[in-house]
C-alpha cells in the first residue's frame, strides 16, 4: 500500500524561497581609507614639502585636496572619530587607548551605541578588511585573553593583520592576524619591513576578495604605522636625500610656504607664523648639530617616500583589478607632526620611559645607523614645527599644527573637478557620514538591539561636487590633555595651555600651566588661514561667547572633567579585571605573553627558571622579552649564564663566572631597587648568588611602546644582546619560568608618560 501523498512533499511542487542577503545599492563604490600617522599639514609633496610622494600626489591630482580638514590632535581619538562619526569624548576616547580612565569620556571603550563604519558596511553587504595600526583596544585587553570585542574583528572587520599598539618596530614588529598573535616574519637581514608587509597583505586581501566575489564592494582600512616614530627605513631610501636639508628648518619652511601659496594649498594673504623661541634658529647651531639634525630629516624623508611607494602598490592593485574607477579613496593623517623627539631628537625614544636623558653626543655617535634596526629614532621637534608649515605647534595641541592635516579624496567616477583644492571646514567625524552618503547606506538607528547615539558629523559629499558648497557644520570643539579650542563660523578661539608628557615642552614652552590663567586667543579663520593674529583684545565679547560655547559642547560630549595633570589620571586608571598578580609561572612551548599581561617589574623582582642542562652543557635563550632597543633576557652563551637588561640602549648586565650546573637546576636573577644607593642585579644558581652588578637609576615602567612579549626557551625578532642570534633555542629543557614581585604599586604617572610617547 503506497503512503498517502501530502502537499509540499515533493520539491517539484514547492517554489524555492532562499534567504535574501544584504546587498549594497547598485553602483556603490569600494572604500579605501589610508590613514597616515604623525604626518604634518606640509609633509606631502602635494601640500608643499618638496619630499617625493608621487603616488599620494597622483591621488591629489586625480581627486581633490582639502586644506581645512581637522582631526583631534592625537591618534586613538582621531581613529575613533573616523570609525564612529562621533566626537572622540562622546565614544569614550578622549585620550589614548593605552590609558583607560574611569570617566565616561575617557574609558577607551567605544560603546555599542556607536556602531562603527565597518560594522555598518558589513551589515549592508560589504566585505571589511583592516590592515595596519589599530590602537583602539584598551590597555589590559590586548593579551591573548582579550576580551576581543574591541579588537578589529569585534568592531566590524572580517579580516585583520597588523599591530594593536600605538607604534611598532618596523624591522621586527609584534603582529596580530585576526584575533591571534603570530610569530614575527623574517628579520631585517632578510629584507623585511613592516610597511612592505602591510602593503603586500592589503593587496592580497583585495585580490582574494575580488577573485572570490567579483564586483562585491569592500572597505579596506589601510592604517600604516608610518610616519610615527621609529622612522625606520633602509639606507637606499635615505641616500637620495643626502644634503637636501643642509640649509635647515628655517629655510625649508620658507620654501614650503612658497610652494603652498603657488599651489593654492595656502590661500593668498596667509601669514607664515613665526618661529617660537623654544625652536632654535638654524643659523646659531654648531656644525655637529647641523649634521645630526639634517640627517634626522633625511631619514624621515626617505621613510615618507618609502611609505608612499607602499601606498602606490595598493592603488596599482586597484587599477589592475579594474576597480579604481569606482573606489572612494580617503587619505589623511591622524594628527599633525610629532614633537615627541624634543629638542635633540632621539636615537631611541624609549629613553624617555627609561628616564635616560637625551644626549646630543649619543645621537651623533649613532648618526650613521639612524633609521636602522639599532635605533628607535625620532627627529628633533624643530622638524615637526616645519612639517606643519605655516601653522603653529604640533601633535597633542589644539592649535592648528596639531589638528589640521592633509585630506585627499580620490573617486574617479564621481569627481569631475580634479586636482583642485577645497577650503570648507571639516573634521574626522565627517568622514563616516560622507562614506555612507557615497555608498547610499543609511545610518542605522538600532544595532544589535542597542539604540544608536546621534552621529556628530555631516556628509561633505556636496563639497566634493561643488567648490562653493557651504561648510558642512558651523561648530566644532577640540580638547586634548587640557589644550582647548573651538571653531564657530568664522571664529576660532584657542587656549595657550601647555600639555604634559614631553619634558622639553614642560621645561621650555611658554604658555599657561593653570586653567584659571589660560589665555583664549581669537582668530578670524575667514581671513587668517594660519591662526597667526590674535584678535582677543579687539573682540572680547566674541571670546566670552566662544568660551561658553566650548563648555556647552564639552558637557554635551563627555569632555568634563578636563585634566592637565598626571596625578588625577593615575587615580582614575582602569586596571585589568584579572591582574597577573605577584607570583606567576610561564611554561615553554606556548605563544608570546604580552608585557601588559606580566607583573610590573620596576619595583623589584625575582625571576627563576626551572631548567635541565645536558651533560655536555647548554646554550641559548631561557627567556627573553623585547630587544636591544628595550628588553631583557636570561641566556647561556660563551659557557656562562648572562642576564642582560637593555634600558633603552643602556646595557645593564650580570654574568656568572662559570658554566651552569648540569642536570635540573634553577637559574635566575633578582632585582633590588636602590633606596639612596645603587640598584642591583644578582644572578642566582639554585637560589644562591653567584654574581652581582650595581647600576644607577631604576628600570623603566615599559620596555617598548610597540608591545613587547615574553618568550620562553627561545627569542624572536631582534636580540637583546649581540651574544646570541634569534631564535637561539635553549639546547636543554626549560620547564618553567617564575616571576615574583613585591607587589609594588603601579607607577602610573610614568605609565601615562610612556603611553604619550607610544601614540
Same domain, 136 and 265: yes
* DSSP states along 388-399: TTTSS--TTSSS
- pLDDT tens-digit profile of 405-453? 999 999 999 999 999 999 999 999 999 999 999 999 999 999 999 999 9
Same domain, 426 and 473: yes
pLDDT at 643: 98
Q: What is the mean pLDDT of residues 586-598?
A: 88
The answer to whether position 167 is within a domain reads yes
The answer to whether position 383 is within a domain reads yes
The answer to whether position 5 is within a domain reads no
In terms of residue numbers, what domain contains 543?
A: 487-571
The answer to whether position 220 is within a domain reads yes
Same domain, 587 and 697: yes
Cell for 43? Answer: 609633509
Q: Which of 430, 456, 486 is the last residue of a domain?
A: 486
How many CB atoms lie under 10 A from the CB of residue 261?
Answer: 17
Is residue 485 very low, low, confident or very high in pLDDT (cuts 50, 70, 90)?
A: very high
The answer to whether position 338 is within a domain reads yes
Cis-peptide into 561, omega within 30 deg = yes
Long-range contacts of 464-473 (CB under 8 A, 24+ apart): 464/64, 464/409, 464/411, 464/414, 464/415, 464/422, 465/414, 467/417, 467/420, 467/422, 469/424, 470/424, 471/424, 471/425, 471/426, 472/424, 472/425, 472/426, 472/430, 473/425, 473/427, 473/430
pLDDT at 356: 74
Q: What is the mean pLDDT of residues 311-339?
A: 98
The answer to whether position 378 is within a domain reads yes
pTM score > 0.85 for this model?
yes
pLDDT at 124: 98
Is residue 2 very low, low, confident or very high in pLDDT (cuts 50, 70, 90)?
A: low
Q: Which of 519, 546, 571 is the last residue of a domain?
A: 571
Separation between Cα atoms, residue 135 and residue 756, nearest integer Å: 12
Contact present, 116 and 156 (Cβ < 8 Å)? yes
- pLDDT tens-digit profile of 549-578? 999 999 999 999 998 876 677 778 898 889
Bridge partners, 504 (sequence order): none
How many CB atoms lie under 10 A from the CB of residue 278?
Answer: 16
Query: Quick one: which of 393, 399, 383 has its CA closest to 480?
Result: 399
Q: What is the mean pLDDT of residues 307-317?
A: 98
pLDDT at 732: 97
Same domain, 534 and 588: no
The answer to whether position 84 is within a domain reads yes
Same domain, 233 and 286: yes
What Å distances lie between residue 37 and 137, 276, 484, 588, 629, CA to CA? 17, 24, 22, 36, 21
Query: Mean pLDDT lowest for which of 116-125, 448-457, 539-548, 738-747?
Result: 738-747
Same domain, 195 and 144: yes
Same domain, 650 and 596: yes
CA 446 to chain centroid, in Å, comes to 31
At which residue does the C-alpha cell 561648510 appear?
471
pLDDT at 609: 98
Same domain, 556 and 611: no
- pLDDT tens-digit profile of 593-618? 988 889 888 789 999 999 999 999 99
What Å distances lie between residue 19 and 16, 22, 129, 158, 365, CA to CA? 10, 10, 25, 21, 67
The answer to whether position 448 is within a domain reads no
Contact present, 405 and 335 (Cβ < 8 Å)? yes
Q: What is the mean pLDDT of residues 524-534?
A: 98
CATH code of residue 696: 2.60.120.200
pLDDT at 469: 96
Mean pLDDT of the chain: 94
Separation between Cα atoms, residue 93 and residue 138, nearest integer Å: 10
Cα dihedral value 384, 387, 391, 394, nearest 10: -30
Cell for 9? Answer: 512533499
pLDDT at 753: 57
Same domain, 413 and 504: no
- Identify the residue with better confidence: 622 or 706: 622
CATH code of residue 378: 3.40.720.10
Contact present, 364 and 288 (Cβ < 8 Å)? yes
- 699 in helix, strand or coil? coil
Is residue 708 very low, low, confident or very high in pLDDT (cuts 50, 70, 90)?
A: confident
pLDDT at 4: 64
Which ranges in 54-193 belong to alpha helices (H)? 54-61, 75-84, 117-123
- 668 in helix, strand or coil? strand
CA 667 to chain centroid, in Å, comes to 38
Separation between Cα atoms, residue 724 and residue 643, nearest integer Å: 12
CATH code of residue 558: 3.30.1120.10
Is residue 184 very low, low, confident or very high in pLDDT (cuts 50, 70, 90)?
A: confident
Same domain, 735 and 641: yes
Separation between Cα atoms, residue 69 and residue 428, nearest integer Å: 8
Is residue 757 very low, low, confident or very high in pLDDT (cuts 50, 70, 90)?
A: low
Q: What is the mean pLDDT of residues 531-537?
A: 98
The three-point CA angle 387-392-393 to 5° equals 75
Asked if pLDDT for residue 501 goes beyond 80, the answer is no
Query: Mean pLDDT lowest for which of 6-15, 37-46, 335-344?
Result: 6-15
Same domain, 382 and 513: no
What Å distances lie between residue 615 and 69, 660, 667, 730, CA to CA? 67, 11, 16, 14
pLDDT at 752: 55
Q: What is the mean pLDDT of residues 13-24?
A: 89
Separation between Cα atoms, residue 334 and residue 342, nearest integer Å: 20
What Å distances lie between residue 411 and 180, 332, 408, 438, 638, CA to CA? 34, 15, 10, 10, 61
Cis-peptide into 390, omega within 30 deg = yes
Is residue 185 very low, low, confident or very high in pLDDT (cuts 50, 70, 90)?
A: confident
Contact present, 194 and 342 (Cβ < 8 Å)? no
pLDDT at 697: 86
Q: What is the mean pLDDT of residues 523-527?
A: 97
The number of domains in the chain is 3
DSSP state, residue 354: T
Q: How many residues does the chain have?
A: 759
Same domain, 494 and 434: no
Asked if pLDDT for residue 748 goes beyond 70, the answer is no
Q: What is the mean pLDDT of residues 101-106?
A: 96
pLDDT at 502: 81
Is residue 329 very low, low, confident or very high in pLDDT (cuts 50, 70, 90)?
A: very high
Amino acid at each position: 500500500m503506497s503512503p498517502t501523498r501530502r502537499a509540499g512533499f515533493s520539491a517539484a511542487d514547492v517554489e524555492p524561497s532562499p534567504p535574501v542577503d544584504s546587498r549594497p545599492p547598485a553602483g556603490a563604490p569600494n572604500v579605501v581609507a589610508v590613514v597616515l600617522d604623525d604626518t604634518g599639514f606640509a609633509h606631502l609633496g602635494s601640500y608643499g614639502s618638496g619630499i617625493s610622494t608621487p603616488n599620494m600626489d597622483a591621488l591629489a591630482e586625480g581627486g581633490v585636496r582639502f586644506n581645512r580638514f581637522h582631526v583631534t590632535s592625537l591618534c586613538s581619538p582621531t581613529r575613533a572619530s573616523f570609525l564612529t562619526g562621533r566626537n572622540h569624548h562622546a565614544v569614550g576616547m578622549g585620550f589614548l587607548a593605552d590609558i583607560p580612565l574611569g570617566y565616561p569620556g575617557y574609558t577607551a571603550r567605544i560603546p555599542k551605541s556607536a556602531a562603527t563604519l565597518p560594522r555598518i558596511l558589513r551589515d549592508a553587504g560589504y566585505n571589511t578588511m583592516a590592515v595596519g595600526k589599530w590602537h583602539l583596544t584598551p590597555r589590559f585587553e590586548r593579551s591573548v585573553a582579550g576580551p576581543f570585542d574591541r579588537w578589529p574583528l569585534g568592531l566590524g572587520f572580517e579580516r585583520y593583520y597588523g599591530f594593536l599598539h600605538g607604534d611598532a618596530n618596523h624591522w621586527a614588529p609584534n603582529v596580530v592576524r585576526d584575533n591571534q598573535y603570530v610569530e614575527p616574519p623574517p628579520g631585517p637581514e632578510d629584507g623585511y619591513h613592516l610597511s612592505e608587509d602591510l602593503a603586500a597583505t592589503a593587496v592580497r586581501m583585495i585580490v582574494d576578495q575580488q577573485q572570490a566575489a567579483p564586483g562585491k564592494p569592500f572597505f579596506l582600512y589601510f592604517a600604516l604605522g608610518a610616519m610615527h616614530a621609529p622612522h625606520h627605513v633602509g639606507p637606499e631610501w635615505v641616500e637620495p636625500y643626502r644634503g637636501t636639508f643642509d640649509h635647515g628648518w628655517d629655510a625649508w619652511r620658507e620654501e614650503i610656504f612658497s610652494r603652498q601659496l603657488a599651489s593654492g594649498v595656502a590661500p593668498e594673504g596667509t601669514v607664515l607664523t613665526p618661529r617660537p623661541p623654544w625652536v632654535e634658529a638654524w643659523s646659531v647651531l654648531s656644525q655637529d648639530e647641523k649634521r645630526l639634525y639634517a640627517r634626522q630629516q633625511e631619514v624621515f624623508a626617505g621613510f615618507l617616500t618609502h611609505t608612499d611607494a607602499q601606498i602606490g602598490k595598493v592603488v596599482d592593485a586597484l587599477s589592475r583589478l579594474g576597480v579604481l574607477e569606482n573606489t572612494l579613496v580617503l587619505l589623511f593623517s591622524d594628527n599633525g607632526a610629532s614633537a615627541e623627539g624634543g629638542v635633540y631628537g632621539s636615537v631611541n625614544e624609549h629613553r624617555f620611559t627609561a628616564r635616560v636623558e637625551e644626549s646630543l653626543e649619543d645621537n651623533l655617535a649613532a648618526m650613521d645607523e639612524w633609521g636602522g634596526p639599532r635605533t628607535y629614532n625620532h627627529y628633533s621637534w624643530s622638524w615637526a614645527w616645519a612639517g606643519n608649515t605655516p601653522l603653529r605647534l604640533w601633535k597633542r595641541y589644539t592649535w592648528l599644527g596639531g589638528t589640521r592635516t592633509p585630506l585627499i579624496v580620490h573617486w574617479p567616477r564621481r569627481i569631475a573637478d580634479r586636482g583642485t583644492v577645497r577650503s570648507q571646514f571639516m573634521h574626522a567625524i565627517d568622514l563616516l557620514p560622507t562614506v555612507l552618503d557615497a555608498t547610499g547606506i543609511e545610518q542605522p538607528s538600532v544595532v544589535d538591539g542597542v539604540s544608536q547615539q546621534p552621529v556628530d558629523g555631516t556628509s561633505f559629499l556636496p563639497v566634493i561636487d561643488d567648490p562653493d558648497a557651504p561648510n558642512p557644520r558651523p561648530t566644532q570643539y577640540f580638547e586634548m590633555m587640557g589644550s582647548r579650542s573651538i571653531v564657530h563660523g568664522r571664529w576660532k578661539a584657542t587656549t595657550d595651555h601647555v600639555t604634559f608628557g614631553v619634558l622639553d615642552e614642560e621645561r621650555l614652552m611658554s604658555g599657561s600651566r593653570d586653567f584659571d590663567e589660560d589665555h583664549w586667543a581669537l582668530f578670524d579663520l575667514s581671513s587668517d588661514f594660519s591662526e597667526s593674529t590674535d584678535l582677543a583684545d579687539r573682540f572680547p565679547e566674541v571670546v566670552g561667547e566662544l568660551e561658553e560655547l566650548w563648555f556647552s559642547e564639552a558637557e554635551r560630549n563627555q569632555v568634563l572633567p578636563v585634566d592637565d595633570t598626571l596625578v588625577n589620571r593615575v587615580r582614575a586608571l582602569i586596571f585589568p579585571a584579572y591582574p597577573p598578580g605577584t607570583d606567576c609561572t610561564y611554561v615553554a612551548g606556548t605563544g608570546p605573553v604580552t608585557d601588559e599581561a606580566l607583573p610590573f617589574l620596576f619595583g623589584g623582582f625575582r625571576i627563576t627558571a626551572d631548567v635541565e642542562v645536558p651533560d655536555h652543557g647548554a646554550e641559548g635563550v631561557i627567556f627573553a622579552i623585547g630587544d636591544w632597543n628595550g628588553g631583557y633576557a636570561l641566556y647561556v652563551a660563551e659557557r656562562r649564564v648572562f642576564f642582560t637588561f637593555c634600558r633603552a640602549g643602556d646595557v645593564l648586565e650580570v654574568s656568572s663566572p662559570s658554566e651552569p650546573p648540569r642536570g635540573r637546576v634553577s637559574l635566575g636573577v633578582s632585582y633590588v631597587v636602590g633606596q639612596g644607593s645603587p640598584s642591583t642585579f644578582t644572578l642566582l644558581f639554585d637560589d644562591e648568588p653567584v654574581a652581582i652588578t650595581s647600576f644607577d637609576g631604576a628600570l623603566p615602567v615599559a620596555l617598548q611602546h610597540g608591545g613587547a612579549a615574553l618568550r620562553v626557551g627561545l627569542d624572536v625578532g631582534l636580540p637583546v644582546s649581540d651574544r646570541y642570534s634569534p631564535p637561539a633555542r635553549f639546547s636543554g629543557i626549560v620547564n618553567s619560568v617564575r616571576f615574583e614581585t613585591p607587589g609594588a604599586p603601579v607607577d602610573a604617572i610614568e605609565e601615562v608618560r610612556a603611553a604619550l610617547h607610544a601614540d
